[in-house]
Structure 1
Amino acid sequence: MDYMELRLWIGMHSCIQCFILVATDASYIIKYMTRFTEEGFSSLISFIFISDAIKKMAGSFSYYPINTDFQPDFITAYKCECVAPDTMASMLFGVVVPVLDNTSALFGMNITALDWSQLSKKECLKYGGQLVGSSCKFVPDLALMSFILFFGTYSMTVSLKKFKFSRYFPTKMRKLVSDFSIFMSIMTFVGLDMLMGLKTPKLIVPTEFKPTRPDRGWIVMPFGKNPWWVYLASFVPALLVTILIFMDQQISAVIVNRKENKLKKGCGYHLDLFWVGVLMAACSFTGLPWYVAATVISIAHIDSLKMESESNAPGEQPQFLGVREQRLTGIIVFVLTGVSIFLAPILQFIPMPVLYGVFLYMGVASLGGIQFWDRIKLFLMPAKHQPDYAYLRHVPLRRVHLFTLLQVVCLAVLWILKSTFLAIIFPSWSGFTDFFFFFNS
């Protein structure tokens, strides 16, 4: 069964289902999406960002292990040599290998004629040699340097983001530094990486604008590779895809349109879902990833457009005035995203640990505006030191903790569903919790 053709039909069925939802005004059911569901869904996505960033960073310590038993007095014992394979086997099979890549000769040479002691690790393994020595499996510098880049990028971004609340420099300069905190952190640690000269893992960017798989073109053909019944049966997985896309799109829209953001312009839930359906069909025919609103990026976009009062009493926090509602920043962001394919020679200098640090910051920063996270922190605060939240004035603290604990349990269940073979029922569970807690609230 051909996967791309099956994916195309799932996308087409999902597109039609989105159009049906738009035609029947089904977006009206987002009124059942309570704060419980919004916070659980957005928290899950934030934790995915945080978890993936930490997992990727931890993986570098496995790929570049550190010799924790290193003893400076026995430094002469730490060595790694490339040893030739069994010469009898090479003579028996007549193994002939090309010369090294750094030479310009085009002839081959017998494997027994190689100077194995002068080969690099990659060349040694390529030609069938063996690495012998107590230090062959350890690469201490790269793991530690990767951690410095990872944690340094995150820490610097957090510090610069808070710089606008400091007492140094004029207000506009502090705000400028805060707005470009991520860019400044990336440039700083890319420069540090280049200065140190270590071969840390870098961002891999394709240099050509073409499909990833060489065996297909830009258009996926809808017929010819799968049985006819697949075109009809794909309706079932498409239904699960539609549920997930509908909830992801509409919950992100609900979070953006919260009254706390003080938006003045109206929302467009039906129009947004219509264009999501159009893009589902277009992306299915071209084999591109399906397009939907990203919760973490949407929250970050709102935060970057917030307006605050400039004239405050000494020591008083700025007052939130609203959000600059316009389309220019969104258009520019996605235009620059498309232009980035031509920046491959520059982007390939960015170390992956730096990007992991940015992802960690995005996940942590998006938790800052979620009431669920504020209520979790109340577990560790004595009552006399708790902030003056409005809900604490009207709801007993015990019920607040019970509600928060229930959210934590549901979030844990969602995480387990996402991380196991049961992930296919994740959309159904999300919808179930939505309606269950609405009718029991």
Structure 2
Amino acid sequence: MDEVFLLPLFVPLKNKFIKKIPKDAEASNVLVGEVEFLEKPFVAFVRLLQATMLGGVTEVPVPTRFLFILLGPAGKAKSYNEIGRAIATLMVDDLFSDVAYKARDREDLIAGIDEFLDEVIVLPPGEWDPNIRIEPPKKVPSAEKRKSVFSLNEVGQMNGAAGGAGAGGGGGGGGSDDGEMPEVHEIGEELAWTGRFCGGLYLDIKRKLPWFPSDFYEGFHIQSISAILFIYLGCITNAITFGGLLGDATDNYQGVMESFLGTAMAGSMFCLFAGQPLIILSSTGPILIFEKLLFDFSKGNGIDYMEFRLWIGLHSALQCLILVATDASFIIKYITRFTEEGFSTLISFIFIYDAIKKMIGAFKYYPINSDFKPDYVTMYKCECVAPDPANATSFDAPAPVAPNTTNVSLSNALNLTALDWTQLSKKECLKYGGSLVGKSCKFVPDLALMSFILFFGTYSMTLTLKKFKFSRYFPTKVRAFIADFSNVFSILLFCAVDACFGLDTPKLHIPSIIKPTRVDRGWFVFPFGKNPWWVYLASALPALLVTILIFMDQQITAVIVNRKEHKLRKAAGYHLDLFWVGILMAVCSFMGLPWYVAATVISIAHIDSLKMETETSAPGEQPQFLGVREQRVTGIIVFVLTGISVFLAPILKYIPMPVLYGVFLYMGVASLNGIQFWDRCKLFLMPAKHQPDYVFLRHVPLRRIHLFTLVQIVCLAVLWILKSTVAAIIFPVMILALILVRRLLDFVFSQHDLAWIDNIIPEKEKKKEDDKKKKKKGNKGDSSSDEEVGPPPGALRSDSSPNGSDMDRSITLHLKISCPSSPAFNFSRSVCAVPQVKIEMESDYEDSDTEKAPRDMGSETTL
């Protein structure tokens, strides 16, 4: 032992376990042993005034705060060891460790042990094999929740009655207001209505400025590389998809090139200056529908489309700025989980549907020859047959050349009868009026199945590697690295698979020259000269619909991103976000670029790729979610890369489109994780005994949960039908209708049920809080001033009111301890002799008529 204490304090111990210990941790050393010179056990519990390094006493160089020493006569080693294990178990308990820090004497420690025993769970040895290791729970109750349970116990309830009361209230459809309830639905102070001109915008800027430097240096982390590559591929795929659809809808007034430049410009500016840089901007389906209807209307009425669109964009931008100036975003606080989950689930389903739809399209473009038979392989051919000579004419076209000859174009008249039609390619055959004859002409071998392998392989491998962090293979850092770069590894692997087979699968095509898609338009749209003057004023009406669409898409996505489940440290900026969306909308309108708004699925994927977990979890313990790496670097780099992708076209052309469709599918599926609506949908297929232990199942009857879920499913189906028709232009109005539906649910479900499966609407919550405050004032009288000034650390208040919530009171305050001054030892007992301590519980109410009865022997604690 002397050699251990004489070890130099500055010698670093080579122990990997030090990486698992949190910062500023302190050690509790439990030392037990048997010696020959003692006739009875000696016990000491020591708390040092300052944590001190004790050399090699601890396995890792951590300062020691507590020492428990037990020495006894020989022959009782097993008993001493069990006592040491019990003390170690006590010291790792959150509440008892607080007691140990604040205890003044032995009685306080015994009171803490007694409270611990009231909460401990005992497994009978006949029902459980002690040799079986119990996995650490994924989530444990917080100390605050356990303290609230202690408070319930103090007012006369037995251990466990609190949970039963809460469950019973839920089962009955409404318990007491003072019973266990979920946390209050709070959006945050960012959505408070200030009543001043641009008051919300000013406060957003004031809140975000202190975080601005950290938004950059916190982004320099290896995890950011994975997030950049993942979101970049999702953004360019989205830009190409929507750019192509916009080109078809607007006769190429807006195409892929405009989509790329608009995404790069708007996205980078938003991530640089907006209030929530984790949000990713993109074109959305409702905007695409609006653009198509606007183009058709302009074409049918002789109105110049680009100029008309410019004025709509300017009016909409002005309306967005008016909403910012009047703090109109505060209405978002009335959007509860019901609306949030309906909107996010719809967007997730759109991503999943589009990814699968594109793969089905590949099967149609490259169909599988299901009638092929190996015996008829000699008949499996395709030939180009010349047209009828009677109808043959001369074409002024370049002459086709054989594959091995020099590529020379002949512009003179060409006699089709002199062509060797058997040497023409499929494209040339159709160009010169020939026809394809043969059973293989309609089929391209292997491409459909190969595309499906690339599509599903990318999705499944990304999903598998993302869960690799929780596997049993490789060290923790390797598992975390594989999980963080799961999407990158999947994309690279299946790009390599495609290159190895060398099949002509559809590839990513990016424009290589920066110029407008149409040659008759430039990069600036002039506001006057092509339309009548009344068009400039009338455009305010369709702009109002665009404003509603932009406002709802942007703010609902912002609410989803800023959820408390993501544990964001830095304040949100709803007004600042909408301000920049309006400014960018005006800029994009002048340049003839698409309009951009927050993309729900890609934003959620961005957050998922930046999640942080504890690196100090004990071996076998589940890592705890810490929050999200909040910064601006990843978003800025993603959109800068999107802009310079035009120059990376020679490299990006090797990426197969089915691989990117697999990334789309993963984004859609991954964004469904953590959505309570999706969890409740799966309950329809589960027997009651196999249902997970969701907290809302403890408090709300299953039939009420199913009814609430069915209402959401019906609303989601209506939104999907509207999205799939021309009526998609009123999609934002239907999102507002979801808020009305949620209001009507107050007449169907009790507030207790809605508090667990949704959120209580703010007015009702505020009224409920006011009622509670009035009730507390009636009970406490003028005791509020006493609550503001608490006792110093380590002090105990024995005169606390029943409604107090101090930690000392919840553990030790109402305990009266009587110990014999000189306890006798009975050496005939099978375990070491220890003093008997009786603990009596005082009444919670100072009633002199109440008789204090000692607790039974089952509550006696030995130390």
TM range (shorter): over 0.9
Tell me the secondary structure at the aligned position of residue 140 of structure 1.
coil
Say whether the 8 Å CA contact 1:33–1:438 is kept in structure 2.
Answer: no
Partner of 2:549: 244
Say whether the 8 Å CA contact 2:510–2:645 is kept in structure 1.
Answer: no
Partner of 2:400: 100
- Pick from 126, 148, 164: which aligns with 2:469? 164
Say whether the 8 Å CA contact 2:507–2:656 is kept in structure 1.
Answer: yes
Partner of 2:658: 353
Task: Point out where structure 2 has 5 or more consecutive residues left out of the alignment.
Answer: 1-302, 747-863
Say whether the 8 Å CA contact 2:316–2:547 is kept in structure 1.
Answer: yes
2:314 corresponds to which letter in structure 1?
M
- Pick from 658, 676, 683: which aligns with 1:378? 683
Partner of 1:68: 370
1:10 corresponds to which letter in structure 2?
I
1:188 corresponds to which letter in structure 2?
L
Call closer, same or farther: CA 1:347–1:97 in 2, change over 3 Å. Answer: same
- Pick from 342, 350, 356: which aligns with 1:48? 350
Tell me the secondary structure at the aligned position of residue 612 of structure 2.
strand
Matched, 1:390 2:700: no
Say whether the 8 Å CA contact 1:96–1:111 is kept in structure 2.
Answer: no
Aligned-partner Cα distance in 1 for 2:408–2:356:
45
1:67 corresponds to which letter in structure 2?
N
Tell me the secondary structure at the aligned position of residue 76 of structure 1.
helix
Call closer, same or farther: CA 1:310–1:106 in 2, change over 3 Å. Answer: closer
User: Structure 1 residue 315: deviation in Å?
Assistant: 4.9
User: Structure 1 residue 316: deviation in Å?
Assistant: 4.1
User: Structure 1 residue 332: deviation in Å?
Assistant: 2.4
Aligned-partner Cα distance in 1 for 2:431–2:486:
43
TM-score of the aligned structures, taking structure 2 as reference length: 0.50
TM-score of the aligned structures, taking structure 1 as reference length: 0.96
Aligned-partner Cα distance in 1 for 2:381–2:721:
45
User: Structure 1 residue 190: deviation in Å?
Assistant: 1.1
Matched, 1:11 2:319: no
1:31 corresponds to which letter in structure 2?
K
Name which of structure 1's ranges 96-105 and 416-425 shifts more when overlaid on structure 2.
96-105
Aligned-partner Cα distance in 2 for 1:96–1:285:
42
1:167 corresponds to which letter in structure 2?
R
Matched, 1:256 2:566: no
- Pick from 413, 416, 420: which aligns with 1:111? 416
Map 1:204-219 onto structure 2 (within 5 A): 204-219=509-524
Tell me the secondary structure at the aligned position of residue 730 of structure 2.
helix
Name which of structure 1's ranges 305-314 and 47-56 shifts more when overlaid on structure 2.
305-314
Q: Any idea what the Cα deviations from partners look like across 1:135-167, whole Å, max 9, x if unmatched?
A: 211113111111111111111111111111111
- Pick from 8, 18, 34: which aligns with 2:336? 34
2:426 corresponds to which letter in structure 1?
K
Matched, 1:80 2:382: yes
1:52 corresponds to which letter in structure 2?
D
Aligned-partner Cα distance in 2 for 1:234–1:392:
51
Aligned-partner Cα distance in 1 for 2:666–2:409:
50
Call closer, same or farther: CA 1:50–1:256 in 2, change over 3 Å. Answer: same
Q: Any idea what the Cα deviations from partners look like across 1:203-243, whole Å, max 9, x if unmatched?
A: 11000122222211101111222222221221121111111
Aligned-partner Cα distance in 2 for 1:329–1:283:
23
Tell me the secondary structure at the aligned position of residue 332 of structure 1.
helix
Say whether the 8 Å CA contact 1:80–1:132 is kept in structure 2.
Answer: yes
Aligned-partner Cα distance in 2 for 1:406–1:74:
56
Map 1:276-295 onto structure 2 (within 5 A): 276-295=581-600
Partner of 1:23: 325
Aligned-partner Cα distance in 1 for 2:540–2:418:
62
Partner of 2:577: 272
Partner of 1:334: 639
2:463 corresponds to which letter in structure 1?
V
RMSD: 1.5
User: Structure 1 residue 334: deviation in Å?
Assistant: 2.2
2:407 corresponds to which letter in structure 1?
S
Aligned-partner Cα distance in 1 for 2:397–2:513:
31
Name which of structure 1's ranges 396-405 and 323-332 shifts more when overlaid on structure 2.
323-332
2:654 corresponds to which letter in structure 1?
F
Say whether the 8 Å CA contact 1:96–1:110 is kept in structure 2.
Answer: no
Q: Any idea what the Cα deviations from partners look like across 1:331-388, whole Å, max 9, x if unmatched?
A: 2222222232321111111111111111001000111121111111111122222222
Which structure's CA Rg is the greater one? 2
Aligned-partner Cα distance in 1 for 2:743–2:651:
50
User: Structure 1 residue 281: deviation in Å?
Assistant: 0.1
Q: Any idea what the Cα deviations from partners look like across 1:230-281, whole Å, max 9, x if unmatched?
A: 2122112111111111111111110111111112221111111001100010
Aligned-partner Cα distance in 1 for 2:408–2:550:
56
User: Structure 1 residue 96: deviation in Å?
Assistant: 4.5
Matched, 1:301 2:576: no
Task: Point out where structure 1 has 5 or more consecutive residues left out of the alignment.
Answer: none
Say whether the 8 Å CA contact 1:308–1:322 is kept in structure 2.
Answer: yes
Aligned-partner Cα distance in 2 for 1:315–1:380:
32
User: Structure 1 residue 295: deviation in Å?
Assistant: 0.8
Matched, 1:427 2:732: yes
- Pick from 215, 218, 222: which aligns with 2:527? 222
Tell me the secondary structure at the aligned position of residue 321 of structure 1.
strand
Q: Any idea what the Cα deviations from partners look like across 1:414-438, whole Å, max 9, x if unmatched?
A: 0000101211221111112123314
User: Structure 1 residue 318: deviation in Å?
Assistant: 2.0
Matched, 1:144 2:449: yes
The answer to which structure, 1 or 2, has the higher relative contact order (CA under 8 A, 6+ apart) is 1
Tell me the secondary structure at the aligned position of residue 255 of structure 1.
helix
Say whether the 8 Å CA contact 1:378–1:386 is kept in structure 2.
Answer: yes
Tell me the secondary structure at the aligned position of residue 131 of structure 1.
strand
Matched, 1:366 2:666: no
Aligned-partner Cα distance in 2 for 1:196–1:45:
35
Aligned-partner Cα distance in 1 for 2:560–2:572:
12
1:329 corresponds to which letter in structure 2?
T
Say whether the 8 Å CA contact 2:352–2:668 is kept in structure 1.
Answer: yes
Say whether the 8 Å CA contact 2:553–2:598 is kept in structure 1.
Answer: yes
Percent of pairs with identical residues: 75
1:223 corresponds to which letter in structure 2?
F
Say whether the 8 Å CA contact 1:65–1:137 is kept in structure 2.
Answer: yes
Aligned-partner Cα distance in 1 for 2:715–2:689:
29
User: Structure 1 residue 130: deviation in Å?
Assistant: 0.4
Aligned-partner Cα distance in 2 for 1:319–1:378:
26
- Pick from 710, 713, 718: which aligns with 1:405? 710
Aligned-partner Cα distance in 2 for 1:29–1:214:
45
1:238 corresponds to which letter in structure 2?
A
Aligned-partner Cα distance in 2 for 1:128–1:360:
41
Aligned-partner Cα distance in 2 for 1:394–1:316:
29
Q: Any idea what the Cα deviations from partners look like across 1:388-423, whole Å, max 9, x if unmatched?
A: 222122111111111111111101100000101211
Partner of 2:503: 198
Partner of 2:489: 184
Partner of 2:844: none
Q: What is the count of residue pairs matched by the alignment? A: 439
2:488 corresponds to which letter in structure 1?
F
User: Structure 1 residue 50: deviation in Å?
Assistant: 0.5
Partner of 2:264: none
Say whether the 8 Å CA contact 1:150–1:353 is kept in structure 2.
Answer: yes
1:165 corresponds to which letter in structure 2?
F
